[in-house]
Amino acid sequence: MKNNVYVGIDLGTTNTLVAYKKKENIEILKFMGSGNVLPSVLFLDPETQEIVVGGDAYREGNFAPENRIKSAKTFIGRDKIYELPVKDGKHVTMTPTDVATEVLKSAKSRIIKKLKLTDDDEICAVITVPAAFSGIQKEETKKAAENAGLKCLGVRPEPVAA
C-alpha cells in the first residue's frame, strides 16, 4: 500500500535540514556523523567517480579540494558549471542543480531509512529557499527535488517558512 510521507526540507547553502511529523510532534531528522544537519557538500572520488555527500564529502575534500563542491546553491539557476577531474585527465561536469539533486538524494535516502519506507511510498516535500531567490532559482530547486525522486509540493521563502 502506498503511503504519502510529508517532510520539510531546508536546502541550505552550507547545511541541509529535514523535518518530519511524528505523531503530533515535529522531529528533526538526524544524519550520521553530522547531528541534525547534512552538510550541503559534494565530493566526487577521482578514481571511482563515486559521489559522496555530507560530512564525509567535506572530509574527503580536504585531501582533494578540486573534487569537492561547497555552497553550490549560491549559483543555482545561473550558468555555473563545475568541472571535477577524474582519472586519465578527464572531467565530470556538474551544474549547481546537479549538486542540489545529489544532496536531496542523500536526504531522501536517510528519510527512507529512518521512517522505514518502501519503494511504494512517496515522499512529499516543501523546500525552503532564500527570500531573494528568483523564479528561475525556485524552478531549478523544484527540478533538483524531482530529479532526486521527491514530490515537490512547493518552495517557500525562508521567512515565510519560519
- Nearest CA to 49 among 103, 99, 90, 100? 90
What letter represents residue 130's amino acid?
A: P
* Alpha carbon distance 94, 69 (integer Å): 10
Kindly provide the b/e burial profile for residues 7-17, where b requires at least 16 CB atoms within 10 angstroms of the residue's own CB.
bbbbbbeebbb
Tens digit of each residue's pLDDT, the chain (162 residues): 688 999 999 999 999 999 998 788 888 999 877 688 999 999 999 999 999 999 999 999 999 999 999 999 999 999 999 999 998 889 999 999 999 999 999 999 999 999 999 888 999 999 999 999 999 999 999 999 999 999 999 999 987 766
pLDDT of the residue at 161: 66
For the whole prediction, is pTM greater than 0.85?
yes
Task: Provide the 3-class DSSP secondary structure of residue 104.
Answer: helix
